[in-house]
Structure 1
């Protein structure tokens, strides 16, 4: 949900916020100007993911999008039953369907989906709420920038992740859950230091200005072990020790090497405590 913002996307957000002040649903010129920009962003996103612009609906973020697709489908398909089958390793926004500002869903033509938000009738009467023009336009810009780097980004993060996996495997009391296969996201590394709770290691790394998490940040304050690890049949004794390292194209091998130097220091410190 959070990552360093592309400077170009931030610049687009600021300029749009300053220049576009109309409500895209308004009939006057300022509203028409905002609506034109909204539809341009919709078409740009559709072209980037190779779908029709009429299949793109803007939301407040990933959590709302997951909720809309799952609940909206359940409402429309309730005559087929009351159970939805998902895997045991879904993100909480999926498994606990009941945010960061802006998002969109791809709604394929012919599919049925009930609206969750009623009111002003925006997004073709399917998602009421005044659209976040600056957020949407900058999201379209960020998506284009991301897709421009799409081919190089996974390999870049995979190289760093591979280095960390091999380095961590050398420690007797470390259990690495991530694998070097295409079945695992190339930008996420999950491991546990046996006998040390995950939040303890997170705060120890934080003191060295290395920022990790014990689970998805969206659910980290629930103080529960990762549901994904439980879905992988990882025992609680290990799941509660797990931490997650997230990578992106801005990270370097030099940073990974520094991470291992600091981790080695902490490993020795915690080994003394355990003994």
Structure 2
């Protein structure tokens, strides 16, 4: 089996799973309980919080655990909107965000908020000039993803931060779900950012766990009311085993991060160079430093993306169309649509997404099978 769908989800690492199982067996108390079992669980949660913070150069007080990227994005966007609505109801985002951002924005629009969706150019990047034009006196939040989940475009977070340095009252949120662990910190980690979103299952942690970064001194309206966990910001009994496992996963992720990223980039380079030799193929992910190393989006003209996905599946090779959240619905890529790619081409999009466990032999086998599939459909066309 060859698994090239890591942007959808990653396989939990064996040692991370071992940490999860150990924590499940040995730390069964509720972290809010006063007895010894509860205290032991609480200490494990807090040591995990500190480990994550130290690895990412945050303060432990800035890390809040969630169920994953969707909750994190919803919480930050809605929590900011509700907290700051007396100061304004205008929000800026891009036209290529993940559905957990786009659909949250649409919910807020139904509640009277106004949202500006910045366009992207033909490479999938916003333009800073458009951001500057969009800012209004009543703007309260700018929410822009670090790495696009469909084509891998890296948004100019540092340039966005520079613009917002002149607007200290505007909160800046970065969805970093696809960015962590790819040696890209210098492109999206910026002191001006107020909020980040992270999701554990994108880096070999269990599903159903994630965290947000909330800069010290910033505030969010809680989405979940209850027992007051996470310093009254996010109620609900902490998922102690998953938190401990996620901390382990981040430690492993950061080990030899540059070397692992270079290996991923080697695989991407090999595939892109081969795709350049094929006719009737469009490639939307580039080798430039404005694109992430692990995502490759391309089309074989005249063949729907789901057809290619299922053809590969028969060979036990797993890729996807675009976003996993949209692929089952048969929707065209929202990113390619925003890039004004014709629908006939956009519906042919296939996404290959790599991680550090993929190998050059897997890529060679993928390319061999790609050629067979490509030649088959060329004959049919």
Give the TM-score of the pair, scaled to structure 1.
0.96
What are the within-5 Å matches in structure 2 for residues 40-59 of structure 1? 40-59=47-66
Alpha-carbon shift at residue 81 of structure 1 (Å): 3.0
Deviation at 1:210, TM superposition (A): 0.8
Superposed counterparts of 1:170-185, under 5 Å? 170-185=277-292
Whole-Å separation in 1 of the counterparts to 2:91 and 2:305: 32
The whole-number CA distance in structure 2 between the counterparts of 1:222 and 1:80 is: 38
Give the Cα separation in 2 of the matches to 1:236 and 1:5.
36
Relative contact order (C-alpha < 8 Å, sep 6+): which is higher? 2
The CA RMSD over aligned residues, in Å, is: 1.3
Greater share of strand: 2
- In structure 2, C-alpha distance between the alignment counterparts of 1:215 and 1:127, rounded to whole Å: 31
Whether 1:3 aligns to 2:3 is: no
Counterpart Cα distance in 2 of 1:168 and 1:138: 38
Give the equivalent residue in structure 2 for 1:230: 337
Q: Kindly report structure 1 stretches of 4+ aligned residues shifted beyond 3 Å.
A: none
Q: How does 1:111-122 map to 2 (within 5 A)?
A: 111-122=218-229
What runs of 5+ residues in structure 2 fail to find an aligned partner? 1-7, 108-198, 200-206
Offset at residue 6 of structure 1 (A): 1.7
Q: What residue number does 1:90 align with?
A: 97
Higher helix fraction (1 or 2): 1
The equivalences for 1:67-106 within 5 A come to 67-97=74-104, 100-106=207-213
SS, match of residue 86 in structure 1 = strand
State the match for 1:220 in structure 2: 327
Query: Which among 239, 254, 269 is matched to residue 361 of structure 2?
Result: 254
What's the secondary structure of 1:272's corresponding residue? helix
Task: Name the SS of the counterpart of 2:92 in structure 1.
Answer: coil
Aligned counterpart for 1:140 among listed residues 234, 243, 247:
247
The match for 1:62 is 69
Distance (Å, rounded) in 1 between the aligned partners of 2:236 and 2:327: 29
Query: How does 1:29-40 map onto structure 2 within 5 Å?
Result: 29-40=36-47
Q: How many residues align?
A: 274
User: How far apart, in 1, do the equivalents of 2:237 and 2:256 lie?
Assistant: 32
User: Compared with structure 1, are the counterparts of its residues 258 and 222 closer, same or farther at alpha carbon in structure 2 (3 Å cutoff)?
Assistant: same
TM-score, normalised to structure 2, is 0.70
Residue 18 of structure 1 corresponds to: 25
Distance 1:136 1:40 in 2: 10
